Amino acid sequence: MRKPLGFMAADPAGDGYQYLEDLACAYWFSEALFTALELQLFALLGRDGRSLDSLSEAASADSDGLFRLLRALERMALVVRAEDRWFNSQTAALYLVPGSPNYMGDFLLYRRYMQGNWQKLAERLSPGKPEHHENLDYRERNFRYVRAMDVLARQKAREIVDRLPLTTLSGPVLDVGGGAGGLLRALQARRPGLDMVLFDIPEVIDAARRLYPDSADWLGITPLAGDFRGHWFEKKFGLVILANFLHAYGPAEAPELLDKAAGLLAPDGRLLIHDYFPDRQGASPQKSALYDLTMMLNTYNGACHESATILGWLEAVGLTHCSICELTTDSSLILAGREPGERLSTEPWMEAADRLGFDRATAIAPHKVVTGSWVTMKCRFGCPNFAGNRQCPPLAMPHDQTRRMLDEYRVAVLVEGQPPGRHFHEMLLALEKELFLAGYHKAFVFGAGPCTLCPECPPDGSCRQRDRARPSMEGAGIDVYATAANVGRPLAPVKEKGRYVKYMGLILVK
């Protein structure tokens, strides 16, 4: 189940680490909001929006940094982008623009002013004060950092290894910036016998040896210390891993490092990149853009590069055969090579929905799609199109038949889009066709709202385009509001003209 923010899915029976990681980063969200208010971005955008250059000049802000903030605000649904202009979202226009009757900016900034006291909570509870990280020397701080990152790496590694085409993977393997080797050890457990090299800067390798003092922990793994930018390697590799590595470097350095990594590959070798890509939705769509701001604040010139940019860099160095997928946590993978090969393991329906341009795609178990007889009653008593459209009640599929159909499937996907309705319908048909041709012969879509294929249906109730017409979710008795809420995508009725409209469609896969 995909959620926009981990702590919204608090579950005492849960066992996932992502919930805790999201809690630890929750202040990233509030700081992005507070900064936008302090720079008066919502006021400057006003009703008509602005270009990046115009907004940068008006806010006296660096355009590159401002773009990175706006990208995060866009993922937080506070601003929207249309071509080269930025606009306030519906929520921002209502509550964050000074002069609005519901303006809450000053109240929200007051929350920031209390932040300093929150940072003293431990001292307030225990005046003796626990040991603080900043009181340790560099070697001990570095050791604790490497130890903490190794825990995260081992958690992530389980899924990363599951996504790799292990049957065709060949060694040796080079993990650049691999920390204490968590990913290599997970890979070694699944593909024993591969020669592996763990490469990182000297102090990290030193911490890794402290963390794993037993020689048995290093069987098959050779630790190697150095600076990747200037280090010369004696051999070629079947797999080179850059995990959480590229975001430490800016757009001038990162392509050069990719070029070097590509040069270390054997002819049939593959390059694996694990990172946060701000242009990917993933399980936490805001996280990558916010992580990019973290790189801007905590490194010399680090940046989370968009996957589209990285794919362009890979093509430039001859790695033209690429696949990409999201992890179930908050990051993504790219696997690239010079020659065609097995791709990353991912759900083809999610990949297709992303490629076709849907705003979001969320897997849902068919039994969580809610149906009811009352839904079609809302059509009968409240919709002017009742009995006027072949795909709407009373001619549409009755809710009990819809329920029986849903129960014949194991996988479904809820997809989101925007008006116009005809374009959204064409996207749904394209998704259904692509999955059918990929071997999912049961693929079938439900649309949003009345059918838009023809200006009107024939008086005899027949359908001129039966091959392209599809029932709407609500017309077939599906409670769209409850279904969307079941996957953490709550909907609210549009109360006034001009408000943001969201379309929901459903594709049954297999």
Which of 492, 491, 445, 453 lies closest to 472 in space, CA to CA?
445
Helix (H) or strand (E) segment spanning residue 482: helix 480-486
Same structural domain, 305 and 200: yes
pLDDT value of position 17: 79
Q: DSSP characters for 13-58?
A: T---SHHHHHHHTHHHHHHHHHHHHHTTHHHHHTTT-EEHHHHHHH
pLDDT value of position 457: 75
pLDDT value of position 10: 65
CATH code of residue 102: 1.10.10.10
pLDDT value of position 5: 40
Same structural domain, 398 and 504: yes
Q: DSSP characters for 93-118?
A: HHHTSTTSTT--HHHHHHHHHTHHHH
The answer to whether residue 10 is domain-embedded is no
pLDDT value of position 6: 41
**Count of structural domains, the chain:** 3
| Residue 355: exposure state from Cβ atoms within 10 A (0-12, 13-18, ≥19) | exposed
Q: Average pLDDT, whole number, for the chain?
A: 87
Give every CB contact of residue 465 below 8 A, 6+ residues apart in sequence: 453, 454
Give every CB contact of residue 55 below 8 A, 6+ residues apart in sequence: 41, 44, 45, 61, 66, 70, 86
Decide which of 345, 364, 398 is a domain's last residue: 345
Same structural domain, 263 and 283: yes
Which of 300, 328, 332, 412 lies closest to 365 in space, CA to CA?
412
pLDDT value of position 2: 35
**Contact of 305 with 286, CB cutoff 8 Å:** no
Q: DSSP characters for 388-410?
A: TSTTSTTTSPPHHHHHHHHTT-S
pLDDT value of position 250: 95
Same structural domain, 149 and 104: no
Same structural domain, 384 and 281: no
pLDDT value of position 423: 86
The answer to whether residue 132 is domain-embedded is no
Which of 434, 444, 394, 423 lies closest to 503 in space, CA to CA?
423
How far is residue 159's CA from residue 161's CA, in Å, rounded to a whole number?
A: 5
The answer to whether residue 4 is domain-embedded is no
Same structural domain, 304 and 414: no
Low-confidence ranges of the chain (pLDDT < 70): 1-11, 13-15, 129-135, 387-388, 390, 461, 496-500
Give every CB contact of residue 489 below 8 A, 6+ residues apart in sequence: 2, 360, 362, 414, 416, 504
**Contact of 482 with 489, CB cutoff 8 Å:** no
pLDDT value of position 132: 57
pLDDT 10s digits, 445-475: 998 877 777 777 777 767 777 778 888 888 8
pLDDT 10s digits, 326-345: 888 889 999 999 998 888 87
**Cis status, amide bond into 455, omega within 30 of 0:** no
Provide φ and ψ at 448, rounded to 5°.
-125, 120
Same structural domain, 285 and 394: no
Domain hosting residue 391, numbered range: 353-508
Same structural domain, 421 and 472: yes
Same structural domain, 340 and 361: no
CATH code of residue 321: 3.40.50.150
Strand partners of residue 82:
85
